[in-house]
Amino acid sequence: MAFSKTVYSFQVKEDTVPGTVVGKVGIQGESLTPITYLLQEDGGENLFLLSPISGEFLLSRSLDFEIQRFYILTVEAQEGGSQVSGVRVYFNVLDVNDNPPVFSQDNSSASLLEDAQVGTCFLSLNVSDKDHGDGGELELRVVSGNELGMFILYSSGSLCLNKALDRETQSSYNLTVTANDCVQPLSLQLTSTARVFVFVEDVNDNAPMFVSAKSVSVPEDAALHSLIMTVQAEDEDAGSNASILYLLNNVSGAALRIDNTSGNIYLEEVLDREKVDTLTFTVTATDVGSPRLETTMNFTVIVEDVNDNNPEFSQRDYSLSVRENIPRGTSLFHVEAHDQDIGPNGQLRYTLSPAGPFVVDTVRGVVTVMDQLDRERESNYTLIITAADRGDTPRSATASISITVLDVNDFTPQFSPENLIIHVKENEDEPSLLIHQVLLDCMVLILC
């Protein structure tokens, strides 16, 4: 009596369902007496159950290729209780794709300088699959977070830079990475997912840029040590590369001081717009990165006028003479005053007092005769002319005008009375002398 094979070998997939017949042994030919099959050596620890009658092996529990790949059993056949024959039985467990790829870390992170060279590999992902063959061969890819193609992931697990970085454009990347085996068809492939966070570290590649206004206006009466403006610069870098210090240079017009960290600029000298109406200076903004980068810009302070100057006449006293028959509406003369202020603070208006036959053009300062003069009634006028600016709190100055009215021959001599009777004695020695004296007295009276 002998087995039909000298060695039995069976292939069993690891996902075979328990209770399935996975093999059968038998003897050659036919036996007239019953044959009994027994396990003499069981390397499977009852994993494979042998039917003593049929010689079939029944799988008793689940297999796992990754735990044990083959089993060796020894089967003995007995005929009639006396004849005995033995044979080796091998069970080879076949791998099936029942294990997904496994990342050593579900979440990984890496930092990369923004000036890293393209092609730099900065992270190695460790992923494995317990399966073998196509089930253990893996493909890795970045499925999200890499829309711009900044990174490339190799099958070895190396994550490398594919394009130049710019932290100021994007400072971090959240990548989703998948690993799948190569089993066909695709529907049988198993996939695992991991997250990779890439942080872009700053490099000092941006100089500060000024964002504040280039000019401001300051009243000329601004207090000493007062804040007159703030210069501000911004740096797109981060950390110390974005910390900015300010330096004041080339100040023209007045003494200024700058706070190196805030950019506040303070007045260190009293202003006077009438002397200097514009201040100019240069500010340098420097970051404290390595290497240091800087930007320089010119700034202007416009000194605004304050009504701090009185008007001034070209002379304090004016005098002139006019004939009494001067026509009405005649312009006599032009008074002129000046104010060092500007705008309304320097715009002058003239007034004349007391009221009389003279008026002044309030804007031009031209004095004009408005009424007929009469020396016989008023031969001298003393006037006060006032020049006042148009500031919120007007300032003024005065000057004196003396006008003398000159006589013109505007009266005809008249006798009073018109008829004169002279009595002369008949014995008067020289009556003609008496008449001459009377006429002389009358003339003197009229001339006086």
Model confidence pLDDT, tens digit, residues 305-324: 999 999 999 999 999 999 99
Q: Where are the alpha helices (DSSP H) in 349-430?
A: none
Contacts of 287 (CB under 8 A, 6+ apart): 204, 207, 208, 235, 237, 240, 241, 242, 243, 244, 245, 293, 294
pLDDT tier for residue 54 given thresholds of 50, 70 and 90: very high
Strand partners, 321: 404
Domain spanning 102-201, CATH architecture:
Sandwich (2.60)
Residue 231: count other Cβ atoms within 10 Å of its Cβ: 23
Q: Would residue 171 be called left, alpha or beta, if left means φ above 0 and alpha means ψ between -120 and 50 degrees?
A: alpha
User: What does the H/E/C string look like for 373-390?
Assistant: CCCCCCCEEEEEEEEEEC
Q: Is the peptide bond before 185 cis (omega within 30 degrees of 0)?
A: yes
For 122, the 3-state DSSP assignment is strand
User: Is residue 20 pLDDT above 90, yes or no?
Assistant: yes
Class of domain 7-94: mainly beta
Question: Quick one: DSSP state of residue 407?
Answer: P
Contact 123, 42 (CB under 8 A): no
Q: pLDDT tens digit string along 89-141?
A: 999 999 888 888 999 999 999 999 999 999 999 999 999 988 777 666 899 99
d(CA 196, CA 120): 16
Q: How far is CA 389 from the centre of its chain?
A: 44
Residue 447's pLDDT is 38
Which superfamily does CATH assign the domain made up of 312-406 to? Cadherins (2.60.40.60)
Tokens of 163: 């394009």
Does this chain's domain 102-201 share its CATH topology with 312-406? yes
State the average pLDDT over residues 366-392: 96
pLDDT tier for residue 406 given thresholds of 50, 70 and 90: very high
The residue behind tokens 């253990």 is: 136
Q: How far is CA 379 from the centre of its chain?
A: 77
Contact 210, 233 (CB under 8 A): yes
Query: Looking at the domain 209-304, which fold is it?
Result: Immunoglobulin-like (2.60.40)
Q: pLDDT tens digit string along 255-282?
A: 999 999 999 999 999 999 999 999 999 9
Q: How many CA atoms lie within 13 A of 284 on its CB side?
A: 11
What's the predicted TM-score (pTM) here?
Answer: 0.62
Sequence ranges of the domains in the chain: 7-94, 102-201, 209-304, 312-406, 414-448
Strand partners, 76: 38, 86
Q: What is each CA distance from 14 to 38, 45, 102, in whole angstroms?
A: 25, 16, 20
